[in-house]
Amino acid sequence: MAEKAPRAAPRDKAARRRHETLGLTDADCVRLFELLVTTRAMDDAVASLYRRGELPGGAFSSRGQEATAVGSCFCLNKNDVIGPVIRNSGAILTQGLSPVAVLRNFLGRADSPTRGRDGNTHLGCMDLGIIAPTSHLGTLIPVCAGAALAFKSRGEARVALTWIGDGAASIGDFHEGLNIAAVWRLPFVLIIENNGWAYSTPTSHQTLLADLSRRAEGYGIPGASFDGNDILEVIAHTRPAVERARAGEGPTLLEARTFRMKGHAEHDDASYVPRELVEHWKARDPIDGFERYLHESGVLTPDETRALRARVAADMERMEREALASPFPDAGTVAAGVFAEGEA
């Protein structure tokens, strides 16, 4: 057996301790990196399928926001529930769904989670605690608060977590869902993913607040804003919020500051976003940043991260082929399961 390449000696002990002070092992860091790289590879595969005319619907990407989704979901237990939105493909992978299931869903195939009824991102899997979203922004806040109410009523130590964009945080459901979760001290965590834009509307046209987490004060709950492109920061803030919820102390409102590195969806070239802003955030790419941390802390060598990236790329190509080979639903059955089938 080939001998393992020697690891770089940690240049800075404080840098190495950063993940250890959060209770994360080196193996946890490798898993986080793998999830980040897999999320991007999957989003890129979806974009490529869209451009090749393979998708019946649109293609959304979480490029630039992977650390927020993966890091926050990493703080949950397997029996907790999440309500993912369009920038949370990393969360559904972290919760345990296979990328091939997501690809099949975008392709509208019969063996996808929506059995070909969706052809987009509206997929869930209750076995993995993933609540399927609808397109109506904000609705997952009261839905997840409702799941949290069920956990509390049954005396189960489970947590519900969902995300909301900076734009959708202006919707009435935000207030109604978060307020009732606060008043009833529900085991609920809400993360605002402030990526600077709601389609072509900048955040400054949505709110005068600089720190969106300050809204927490209005609900009498804790809040914090942090760098959503630094996965260790995401974990450092989400973990106490999840623990607080699980301990029966109620919800927390978090704001992850991040950036949408593509347009709203694949059809949008984002020409309205200033070039300098894109460059500013490109230098803060969450995956490249974590890779540098892994090298500096001695968790993985550059050769090891390169090999991991190559393995993930090869796996994604295989899963894309597998998804493309999946059957379309039988046209005669497409209405089955769309509406509740009760008595007339």
Ligand X SMILES: Cc1ncc(C[n+]2csc(CCOP(=O)(O)OP(=O)(O)O)c2C)c(N)n1
Q: What is the 3-state secondary structure (H, E, C) of 67-80?
A: HHHHHHHCCCCCCC
Phi first, then psi: give them for residue 330, nearest 5 degrees.
-70, 125
Q: Specify the stretch interacting with Mg ion by CB under 5 A; choose among 40-48, 194-202, 264-272, 308-316.
A: 194-202
Q: Specify the stretch interacting with ligand X by CB under 6 A; choose among 75-83, 161-169, 219-227, 283-291.
A: 161-169
Q: Taking the alpha carbons of 180, 160, 108, 332 in that order, is the dihedral positive or negative?
A: negative
Interaction with ligand X in 178-207: which residues (CB under 6 A)?
193, 195, 197-199
CA distances from 331 to 78, 117, 145, 327, 336 (A): 36, 11, 37, 11, 10
198 binds Mg ion per the rule CB under 5 A = yes
Nearest residue (CB) to ligand X, 202 versus 222: 202
Angstrom distance (rounded) from CA 193 to CA 59? 19
**Contact by Cβ (8 Å): 174, 145:** no
Those residues whose C-beta lies under 8 Å from the C-beta of residue 222, and which sit 6 or more positions away, are 216, 241, 244, 252, 253
Which residue is it, tokens 């809400």?
190
* Among 101, 115, 126, 58, residue whose Cα is nearest residue 338: 115
With CB under 5 A as the contact rule, the residue among 165, 223, 228, 286 that binds Mg ion is 165
Site map (CB under 6 A) of ligand X, residues 111-140, x = contact: ------------------------xxx---
What is the closest distance, in whole angstroms, from the C-beta atom of residue 206 to Mg ion in the complex?
Answer: 9
87 binds ligand X per the rule CB under 6 A = yes
* Among 343, 344, 331, 272, residue whose Cα is nearest residue 108: 331
Nearest residue (CB) to Mg ion, 111 versus 268: 268
263 binds ligand X per the rule CB under 6 A = no
Nearest residue (CB) to ligand X, 142 versus 187: 142
Picked from ligand X, Mg ion, none, the partner binding residue 87 (CB below 5 to 8 A depending on kind) is: ligand X
Select the residue whose beta carbon is closest to ligand X and give its number.
Answer: 165
Nearest residue (CB) to ligand X, 10 versus 202: 202
What is the closest distance, in whole angstroms, from the C-beta atom of residue 205 to Mg ion in the complex?
Answer: 11
By CB under 6 A, name the binding residues for ligand X. Answer: 86-87, 135-137, 165-168, 171, 193, 195, 197-199, 260, 264
